[in-house]
């Protein structure tokens, strides 16, 4: 399959799960960016347009969930995190089965620049006790995640989606297991622990390292909360060298989560965190990954720095 | 077991009196909580729960056909819990555990702990959106039940309230009724001084709501307003209830000091004597 943005895969997947009449979709006037317009065309009676008023949008989602609906509220992730207190109180504290899709994450969105780039959403949402955080790395995983979160998951959930296209990492027949890390590649020298758009970068880095005689494993963390601590601790124990990789601030994101897991397990491992440390800016995705140190080259360099 | 309701306003007045006493008792016991807004809302809650407005089954709190009530001004739990206890959702003894460790009666409503609580609230401005979502769900299903939401006047300074007010008419929610407990006083000062909301009724009208303005302590007017809301087609109704914060206890009335402070045992006795004396 051609490279697909996970936001687009999300839109396609919503149409599929929309055959269940309990599914409703809520928009804040970004439906052509989040691809919820696909659902709107198919199920107009269950598509709720609330305009640029995200506090209300998230509260309405909670009310719908409390009434037995399965609501998906979707907009740019940064606008969701901007309404953190509504997510905290109306959604999470109410134990409302709201599914929130946050698109346009990371510097990977490109030209639009810093104001639209969510680089702190994982950090903020990770502090909410019952919020599940899922970030798929390709189209196939997105379809599985949407299906799981729609029909099986109990409690609030957040799905983190890219604007840019991502290569398919998985094949048809891939089995997505919520809360379980996905071992994409075995390695004995170093483990690259990546999420979302950085998974394909980590795979490319592992390939480059292989040519240099460095055996790098790749762990895809599609579920950031609850974290598969056993898989991370296991990797730290077996390779002793870890690189975390994410298009998000290293503070509070996957890098922090990995550091916490390793430290609490008392494993003597070394860690380098690849991720952002500043606000984003305008540019192409490739230029920005280069500038912000997120490309495969940077992930490989981070691994090399541990090999001395 | 069906709830005993009445349209006799003298009976409703007696129930409200009983609930006011309960509010004072549980506040004295808890040593903290919000008397002012509980006393201003209680005549409306009395009509809603005991005046045959709200359809509910206390022995079956999740009855699918029930009407929903969301207390958006979540700090006014003393009035809310006293009402729910009298309605039969839980025993009166629970009221004496209010705000204490392990109690289902949290300082602010928690739907996962207290039976009869439709939504957890307490962060002002949010409950109205939750209630709106509940009303939209009913509309999607063409369900017969109605959704009521009580909002504070001070709370109406929150932008989210107006996001919800702006959006409700779009969905022709004639199953949705917001009651503004316009009690004139907020935590530190009169509402008028903090942020004047006048003309509040005009604001709702401008957003295309059906608006009814009433004296929120007049039982005939409260019941009539709810009936009018139920009969209104095609748009949501806002009942702007002009009330008095602390109503029924002279030393608490319209005083910001009694927004979030419990009476001492002695003050409680004075308050109860006044309520039972029925002078106010």
Task: Compute the average pLDDT of residues A225-237.
Answer: 98
The reply to whether A71 and A149 lie within a common domain is yes
Average pLDDT, chain B: 97
Q: Give the three-state DSSP class for A275.
A: strand
Q: What are phi and psi of B89, to 5 degrees?
A: -70, -30
Looking at the fold, whether A141 and A33 belong to one and the same domain comes out as: yes
Query: Chain A residue with minimal CA distance to B168?
Result: A50
A99 touching chain B per CB within 8 A: no
Same domain membership, residue A112 and residue A31: yes
Instruction: Report the pLDDT averaged over residues B193-201.
Output: 97
Does residue B1 sit within a domain? no
Q: What is the pLDDT of residues A269-289, one digit of tens each?
A: 999 999 999 999 999 999 999
pLDDT for A308 equals 79
Cα–chain-centroid distance for residue B49? 10
Q: In a 3-state reduction of DSSP, which class is residue A235? A: helix
Cβ–Cβ contacts within 10 Å for residue A301, how many? 16
Same domain as A192, residue A80: no
The burial of B218, by beta-carbon neighbours within 10 Å (0-12 exposed, 13-18 middle, 19 or more buried), is given as: middle
Instruction: Give the HSE-up count for residue A124: Cα atoms under 13 Å, Cβ half-sphere.
Output: 21
Q: What's the mean pLDDT in B250-270?
A: 98
Same domain? For A110 and A253 the reply is: no
d(CA A241, CA A239): 5
Work out the number of other CB atoms within 10 angstroms of the CB of residue A60: 34
- Cβ-based contacts of A23 with chain B (< 8 Å): none
Task: From A138, A166, A194, give the residue that closes a domain.
Answer: A166
Q: Residue B114 pLDDT more than 90?
A: no
Burial (CB < 10 A; 0-12, 13-18, 19+), residue B157, is middle
For residues A124 and A88, membership in a common domain is answered with yes
| Statement to judge: residues A215 and A146 lie in one domain | no
Cis, peptide link before residue B199, omega less than 30° from 0: yes
Note the pLDDT tens digit of each residue in A117-127: 999 999 999 99
Question: What backbone torsions phi and psi does residue A300 show, to the nearest 5 degrees?
Answer: -65, -40
| Residue B242 to residues A272, B89, B172, B217, B245, Cα–Cα distance (Å) | 62, 29, 26, 8, 10
Residue A277, both tokens: 């440390």
Domain presence at residue A16: yes
pLDDT band at A115 (very low <50, low <70, confident <90, very high): very high
> With an 8 Å Cβ cutoff, is A73 touching chain B?
no
Where helices occur in A109-266 by DSSP H, the ranges are 121-126, 139-151, 198-211, 229-239, 254-265
Determine, yes or no, domain membership for B98. Answer: yes
- SS3 of residue B272 by DSSP: helix
Q: Is B67 helix (H, G, I), strand (E, B) or coil?
A: coil
Residues A287, A148: one domain? no
Mean pLDDT, residues B175-186 taken together:
98
Query: Considering chain A, what percentage of its residues have pLDDT values greater than 90?
Result: 99
Q: What is the pLDDT of residues A243-266, one digit of tens each?
A: 999 999 999 999 999 999 999 999
| % of chain A exceeding 70 in pLDDT | 100
Q: What is the pLDDT of residues A39-80, one digit of tens each?
A: 999 999 999 999 999 999 999 999 999 999 999 999 999 999
pLDDT band at B278 (very low <50, low <70, confident <90, very high): low
Counting one residue from A and one from B, how many pairs have CB atoms under 8 Å apart?
100
How many Å apart are CA A231 and CA A37, to the nearest integer? 37
The residues of B whose Cβ lies within 8 A of any Cβ of A are 110-112, 118-123, 125-126, 128-138, 140, 159-160, 163-164, 166-167, 171
Residue among A48, A53, A62 minimizing CB distance to B163: A53
Q: In the listed set A137, A166, A195, which residue is the last one of a domain according to the structure?
A: A166
Distance from CA of A130 to the nearest CA of B (A): 14
- Rounded to whole angstroms, how far apart are CA atoms A279 and A118? 9
Q: Best residue in A24, A47, A67 to probe B by mutation, most B CBs within 10 Å?
A: A67
Distance in angstroms (rounded) separating the CA atoms of residues B222 and B84: 19
Q: How many domains does chain B have?
A: 1
A89: containing domain: 4-166
Q: Where are the alpha helices (DSSP H) in A45-135?
A: 54-66, 77-81, 84-86, 121-126
Do residue B137 and residue A58 have CB atoms under 8 angstroms apart? no
- Backbone Cα Rg of chain B: 17
Q: Report the residue of A25, A48, A49, A66 to disrupt the B interface, i.e. the one with the largest count of B CBs within 10 Å.
A: A66
Residues A95 and A223 in one domain: no
Residue B255, in any domain of the structure: yes
Asked whether the beta carbons of residue B164 and residue A59 sit closer than 8 angstroms, the reply is yes
**Cβ atoms < 10 Å from Cβ of A245:** 33
Does residue B219 surpass a pLDDT of 90? Answer: yes
List the CATH number of the domain containing A154. 3.40.50.970
Per-residue pLDDT at B3: 79
Decide if B119 and A94 are in contact by the 8 Å CB cutoff: yes
Give the chain A residue whose CA is nearest to the CA of B123: A89
Looking at the structure, do residues A133 and A84 belong to the same domain, yes or no?
yes
pLDDT at B279 over 80: no
Decide if A233 is inside a domain: yes
Residue A25 lies in a domain: yes
Residue A172 lies in a domain: no
Q: Does A176 map to a domain? A: no
Residue A273 belongs to domain with CATH number? 3.40.50.920
- The per-residue pLDDT for A145 is 98
> Mean per-residue pLDDT for A20-36?
98
Does a structural domain hold residue A238? yes
Residue A175 within any structural domain of the chain: no
* Interchain pair B140, A59: CB under 8 A: no
Same domain, A148 and A189: no
Domain end, chosen from A96, A131, A166, is at A166
- With a cut of 90, say whether residue B203 has pLDDT above it: yes
Residue B127 in any domain: the answer is yes
Judge whether B4 lies within some domain: no
pLDDT, average across residues B131-150: 98
Instruction: For residues A96 and A232, state if they share a domain.
Output: no
Is A41 an active-site residue? no
- Is residue A111 in some structural domain? yes
Catalytic residue selected from A54, A120, A141, A246: A54
Question: Which residues in chain B touch residue A63, judged by CB atoms under 8 angstroms apart?
Answer: 119, 129-137
Residue B171 near residue B133, CB atoms below 8 Å: no
Residue B110 domain-assigned (yes or no): yes
HSE value, Cβ hemisphere, 13 Å, CA-based, for A35: 19
Q: Which of these, B173, B236, B172, B181, lies nearest to B47 by C-alpha position?
A: B181
Q: What is the pLDDT of residues A163-203, one digit of tens each?
A: 999 999 999 999 999 999 999 999 999 999 999 999 999 99
Tokens representing B180 are 């503004």
Share of chain B above pLDDT 70, in %: 98
- Examine the pLDDT at A14 and tell me if it is beyond 60: yes
**Separation in Å, CA B191 to CA A231, B127, B206, B254, B262:** 55, 20, 21, 11, 21
DSSP helix/strand/coil, A299: helix
Which residues of chain B make contact with A86, given a CB cutoff of 8 A? 123, 126, 129, 160
Token pair recorded at residue A302: 């981070």
Q: Which residues of A touch B136 (CB under 8 A)?
A: 48, 60, 63-64
Indicate yes or no: CB of B126 within 8 angstroms of CB of A86: yes
Length of chain B: 280
Parent domain of B202: 9-277
Do B166 and B128 meet the contact criterion of CB atoms below 8 Å apart? Answer: no
Q: What is the mean pLDDT of residues B171-191?
A: 98
* Residue B280, pLDDT above cutoff 80: no
Task: Write the CATH number for B55.
Answer: 3.40.50.970
User: Are B83 and B18 in contact, with CB atoms under 8 Å apart?
Assistant: no
Q: Report the alpha-carbon distance of residue B212 to residue B91 in Å, rounded.
A: 35
Average pLDDT over residues B121-147: 98
In degrees rounded to 5, what are phi and psi of residue A136? -75, 155
Tell whether B2 is covered by a domain. no
**Would you tell me the crossing angle of helices B35-50 and B77-87 to the nearest 10 degrees?**
30
| pLDDT at residue B1 is higher than 60 | no
pLDDT of the residue at A1: 65
Number of folded domains that form chain A: 2
Q: How many CB atoms lie within 10 A of CB A12?
A: 16
pLDDT, tens digit (0-9, with 9 covering 90-100), for B51-106: 999 999 999 999 999 999 999 999 999 999 999 999 999 999 999 999 999 999 99
Residue B186 in this model has a pLDDT that exceeds 60: yes
Tokens 């540019």: give the residue: A283
**What is the Cα–Cα distance from A77 to A59, expressed in whole angstroms?**
16
Cα(A147)–Cα(A18) distance, integer angstroms: 10
B-facing residues of A in 27-56 (CB < 8 A) are 45-46, 48, 50-51, 53, 55-56
Q: Is B3 a domain residue? A: no
CA angle B43, B105, B1 (to 5 degrees): 65
Q: Would you give the DSSP letter of residue A18? A: T
| Separation between Cα atoms, residue A156 and residue B247, nearest integer Å | 40
Query: Which residue of chain B has the CA closest to A68?
Result: B137
């Amino acid at each position: 399959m051609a490279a697909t943005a996970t936001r687009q895969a999300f839109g396609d997947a919503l149409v599929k799960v929309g055959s269940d009449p309990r599914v409703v979709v809520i928009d804040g006037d970004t439906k052509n960016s989040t691809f919820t317009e696909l659902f709107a065309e198919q199920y107009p009676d269950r598509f709720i347009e609330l305009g640029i008023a995200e506090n209300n949008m998230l509260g309405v989602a909670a009310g719908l969930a409390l009434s037995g609906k399965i609501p998906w509220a979707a907009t740019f992730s940064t606008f969701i995190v901007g309404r953190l207190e509504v997510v905290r109180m109306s959604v999470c504290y109410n134990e409302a089965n709201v599914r929130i899709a946050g698109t346009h994450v990371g510097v990977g969105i490109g030209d639009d620049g810093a104001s639209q780039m969510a680089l702190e959403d994982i950090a903020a949402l990770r502090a909410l006790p019952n919020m599940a955080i899922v970030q798929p790395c390709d189209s196939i995983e997105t379809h599985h995640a949407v299906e799981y979160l729609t029909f099986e998951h109990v409690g609030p959930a957040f799905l983190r989606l890219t604007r840019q296209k991502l290569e398919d990492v998985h094949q048809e027949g891939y089995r997505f297991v919520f809360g379980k890390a996905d071992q994409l590649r075995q390695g004995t020298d170093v483990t690259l622990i990546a999420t979302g758009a950085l998974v394909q970068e980590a795979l490319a880095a592992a390939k480059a390292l292989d040519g240099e005689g460095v055996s790098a494993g790749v762990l895809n963390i599609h579920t950031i909360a609850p974290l598969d601590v056993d898989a991370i601790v296991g990797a730290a124990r077996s390779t002793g060298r870890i690189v975390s990789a994410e298009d998000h601030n290293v503070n509070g994101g996957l890098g922090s989560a990995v550091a916490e897991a390793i430290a609490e397990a008392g494993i003597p491992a070394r860690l380098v965190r690849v991720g952002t440390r500043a606000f984003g800016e305008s540019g192409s995705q490739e230029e920005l990954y280069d500038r912000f140190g997120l490309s495969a080259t940077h992930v490989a360099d981070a691994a090399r720095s541990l090999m001395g | 077991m069906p709830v005993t309701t009445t349209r006799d306003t003298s009976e409703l007045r007696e129930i409200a009196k009983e609930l006011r006493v309960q509010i004072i008792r549980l506040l004295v016991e808890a040593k903290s909580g919000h008397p002012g807004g509980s006393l201003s809302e209680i005549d409306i809650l009395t009509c809603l729960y005991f005046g045959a407005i709200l359809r509910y089954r206390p022995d079956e709190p999740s009855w699918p056909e029930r009407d929903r009530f969301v207390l958006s001004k979540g700090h006014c739990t003393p009035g809310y819990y006293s009402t729910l206890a009298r309605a039969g959702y839980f025993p009166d003894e629970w009221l004496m555990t209010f705000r204490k460790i392990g109690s289902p009666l949290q300082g602010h409503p928690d739907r996962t702990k207290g039976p009869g609580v439709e939504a957890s609230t307490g962060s002002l401005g949010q409950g109205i959106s939750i209630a709106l979502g509940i009303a939209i769900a009913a509309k999607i299903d063409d369900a017969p039940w109605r959704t009521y939401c009580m909002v504070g006047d001070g709370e109406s300074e929150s932008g989210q309230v107006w996001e919800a007010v702006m959006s409700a008419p779009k969905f022709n929610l004639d199953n949705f009724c917001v009651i503004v407990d316009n009690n004139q006083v907020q935590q530190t000062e009169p509402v008028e001084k903090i942020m004047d909301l006048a003309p509040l009724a005009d604001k709702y009208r401008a957003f295309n709501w059906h608006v009814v303005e009433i004296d929120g302590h007049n039982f005939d007017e409260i019941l009539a307003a709810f009936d009018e809301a139920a009969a209104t087609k095609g748009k949501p109704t806002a009942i702007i209830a002009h009330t008095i914060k602390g109503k029924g206890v002279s030393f608490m009335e319209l005083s910001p000091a009694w927004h979030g402070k419990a009476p001492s045992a002695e003050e409680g006795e004075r308050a109860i004597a006044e309520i039972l004396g029925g002078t106010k």
